Amino acid sequence: MRINRVFEALSHPVRRQILTLLKAGPMSAGELAEHFDLTKPTLSVHFNKLREAELVAIERRGTSLIYHLNMSILEEALGGLLGTRDQTP
């Protein structure tokens, strides 16, 4: 896990909102995009950052790409910072 990518990904409110939406269950790029006042290409860039951080995984179904939340990475990253273990890079 690249801890730096995870926290960088979490730093934007849109990306945190995407994760929150995905807590309810997997969703396609288009469905996610409906929740924001941004163009699809812009959202696509946000999806990509979340994917690089492994905070989401992708599954293709037909022409749609379904995004799934990867809760374990979130737990690892945040728990690592909260814990007493030395996290110095």
Partner DNA sequence: ACTCTAATTAGATATTTTTCTAAATATGAA
Partner DNA sequence: TTCATATTTAGAAAAATATCTAATTAGAGT
Which residues in this chain contact its own copies in the complex, by CB under 8 A? 4, 7-8, 10-11, 13, 16-17, 19-21, 23, 74-75, 78-79, 81-84, 86-89
Please report whether residue 42 would count as binding DNA according to CB under 7 A: yes
Residue 25 interaction partner, one of DNA, its own copies, none, beta carbon < 5-8 Å per kind? none
Nearer of residues 10 and 66 to its own copies, judged by Cβ: 10
> Which pairs with CB-CB distance under 8 Å and at least 24 residues apart come from 14-21?
14/38, 14/43, 14/46, 15/46, 15/49, 15/50, 18/46, 18/47, 18/50, 18/56, 18/67, 19/50, 19/55, 19/56, 19/69, 19/74
Q: Pairing state of beta strands 56-61 and 27-28?
A: unpaired
In whole angstroms, the minimum distance from the beta carbon of 68 to DNA comes to 12
Tell me, residue by residue from 57 to 76, as one string, x for binding to DNA by CB under 7 A and - for no binding.
-x-x-xxxx-----------
